[in-house]
Amino acid sequence: MPGPWGRDGERGAGEIFHLHFTSDVIAFRAVPGKAKAKRRSECPVSISLERFGDRWSLLIIRDLMVRGFRTFKEFQEAGEGIATNILADRLRKLETAGIIQAETDEADRRKLDYRLTLKGIDLAPVLLELLIWGSRHEETRVPCAFIDTLSRNREEVLAEVRRRWRERDCTPLLPDFLAGGITRKRGRTRSKVQMAPSSYD
């Protein structure tokens, strides 16, 4: 006969337990793990934004995908001014969401390297379109000719992104626009940025 805490004191996942009090009986179900946060809606766009829609998460994904960054220090020194506590929080959330994974550094077992998962690398088309859209409609440091090249060769760019991810190639895919300055002369913008080596030039 089951005791007051369930069947013979066992507390298996999903079992019904009864707490006996003199005036009432309260039944509850044991659910393993942390309860999932309630979604705003079942819209795929809304669900996606809940996972990576804030500014810092997208920039971390960008740095992993096209700048070859892997470590906490590299993300922190990326030039965006992210605070240490926010960076740690976003890395944790992205890892929980299955978008990135942390791996022990082979050279220094005390350090962690971060890498996009298959779920994360599937965001490559999204990041590429954001790069093209932002450069076309806002003032940025990215040369127009470079954006035209990306736009004309979308499939080749995405194939190269996946190849580098698959082969763990940390060579930056895109020029470091944050490090490159710009100078203006007679109404024209001259970029000091050099194009990164690629297979689709």
| Model confidence pLDDT, tens digit, residues 104-151 | 988 888 889 999 999 999 999 999 999 999 988 888 888 888 889 999
**If you ran DSSP here, which 8-state letter would residue 117 be given?**
-
How far, in Å, CA of 116 to CA of 38, rounded? 26
User: What pLDDT score does 63 carry?
Assistant: 93
Q: Quick check: 191 pLDDT over 90?
A: no
Determine which of 21-25, 59-63, 132-136, 197-201 has the lowest per-residue pLDDT on average: 21-25
Contact 197, 88 (CB under 8 A): no
> 38 or 103: which carries more pLDDT confidence?
103
Task: Name the pairing type of β-strands 188-191 and 100-104.
Answer: unpaired
* Nearest CA-CA partner of 154 in 127, 190, 194: 127
For residue 70, name the pLDDT band (cuts at 50, 70, 90).
very high
pLDDT confidence bin for 80, thresholds 50/70/90: confident
CB 66 within 8 A of CB 157: no
Nearest to 99 by CA among 118, 85, 126, 75: 118
Residues 145 and 201 sit within 8 Å (Cβ to Cβ)? no
Q: Could you tell me the pLDDT band of residue 36, with boundaries at 50, 70 and 90?
A: low
Q: What is the pLDDT at residue 94? A: 95
Which residues sit opposite 84 in a β-bridge?
none
- Compute the average pLDDT of residues 44-56: 78
Q: Which domains does the chain have, with CATH numbers?
A: 1-29 (no CATH), 53-117 (1.10.10.10), 124-169+176-191 (no CATH)
Whose CA is closest to 115, among 73, 77, 60? 60
104 - beta bridge partners?
112
> Buried (b) or exposed (e) across 6-27, using 16+ Cβ within 10 A?
eeeeeeeeeeebeeeeeeeeee
pLDDT band at 17 (very low <50, low <70, confident <90, very high): very low
Average pLDDT of every residue of the chain: 76
Residue 170 has pLDDT above 60, yes or no: yes
Can you give the pLDDT at residue 162? 96
> Residue 47 — very low, low, confident or very high, per pLDDT cuts 50/70/90?
confident
Residue of higher predicted confidence among 123 and 41: 123
Query: What's the confidence (pLDDT) of residue 45?
Result: 79
What integer pLDDT is reported at residue 74 of this predicted model? 94
